[in-house]
A and B are shown apart, each in its own frame.
Chain A
Amino acid sequence: MTLETSPEVESRVVDKQLALVSVEDVTKHFPIGAGLLGGGSAVRAVDGVSFEVRAGETLGLVGESGCGKSTLGRVIAQLHPATSGKVIFQGQDLVPMRGEKLRRMRQELQMIFQDPYASLNPRMTVGEIIGEPLKNFGLARGKERSNRVHEVMRTCGLNPNFLNRYPHEFSGGQRQRIGIARALVLNPTFIVADEPISALDVSIQAQIVNLMEDLQNRFKLTYLFIAHDLSVVRHLSDRVAVMYLGKIMEIADSHSIYENPLHPYTKALLSSIPIPDPDLEAKRQPILLQGEIPSPVNPPSGCRFHTRCPIAQFPICSEQVPPLESKVDGHLAACHFAGQL
């Protein structure tokens, strides 16, 4: 498969030095079937993940369904407490934070949700939904608040006349705009976007992608953009992290991930994506992985990918956990045989 590249237009300043968010060895386990004596097992949804998000960039997070992307996003946004590890945001560890202090912190750190139908309260009007963050922090009152809500609605491409309508009166794309407006109204610095376009119609997805890009340029936002669709991630991201069964398999800047994937999983993932071009499709040779993602309750030993990996070598791959380490400058991969597929 050959991918053409064209010169990239850098429209934003990404501060390569400053890590806005650093995630350090975060795990999140959901206990299941725990009896009275506690002897249950756990879903190891996120299992020892470390990376950083730099100020002003978009970090794409991709992986198959159930690999722990949303859980990681929610742990970073402090919607699930982490089982262990640190989430350092603007120099402070968010994990031990509780109560009012954490609530104050949320001003800076917002989330956009996957399902535009489930993430809006059906009993509140659009105006109430977008105004609620302001109310929570006592930021603007009365006329001032409604002005701010109008402004944000306009920014997100919503007609402010719809202020008093209920979410069910809107289409999926418009609802997603409402969700974005709600996240934006507090002027946050960091936004976790959990598959914001997966639930939308094809003709609507581009509207939201463009909106998110424009907002980033305009307000200097930093995104953690979660998706299972690698095409969208390529379009939006400066760097990409690939996740498999609760662990990061590879992380590098977008260009190297797509042009020179080192991890066999990334490679297989990229090759399974169809391209809307019959000529390229005729040439594409997908690397077909065997079977499906194993259960996160009992992840495979050693390298978690060894049950499906086309180049696994035994016993090393089933015994030793490959560390996520730099292979070529700044390109991290967790594989004993990186770059050999």
Chain B
Amino acid sequence: MGLDFVGQGVGETDGNIITTTIDKVVNWGRKNSLWPMPFGTACCAIEMMATLASKFDLSRFGSEAIRFSPRQSDLLIVSGRISIKMMPVLKRIYDQMPDPKWVISMGACASCGGVFDTYTLIQGVDQFIPVDVYIPGCPPRPEDLIDAVLQVQQKITSGASPKGVETVV
């Protein structure tokens, strides 16, 4: 049971009482209900859709509630090429997400521009928004995206702050 995990390293008393720290409970909740904000601008988004569909089923990890409103999301998945015209939009969406928020940069294009070393393509979104987990690949397989979500979960469990936030309250 998940709650065993909450009480990890903390004494468990008789009956139904578990003692733990508030941080651990909150992080446990955050970790198991990451709501992704998809920012799919290119081919990588197809793999992201596959990740959500039944075969790979991201909902097994609590992240199936895709929100198309940044105000309801805490995990931004940047999947695809970002042009200089799109970057302000992406930045604004990132800014609109409530803290704490995490960012996955999916694929070569989002992470470093990929093969598109051209006048209009951002060479890595991490120049403008903080990225927590990078996924290599062109495109990465759905398993890679699931792995990235698990890495974000690990990060949350460990109590580490997201890249863009000084401290998690």
Q: Are both chains from one complex?
A: no
Enumerate chain B interface residues (CB-CB to A < 8 A): none
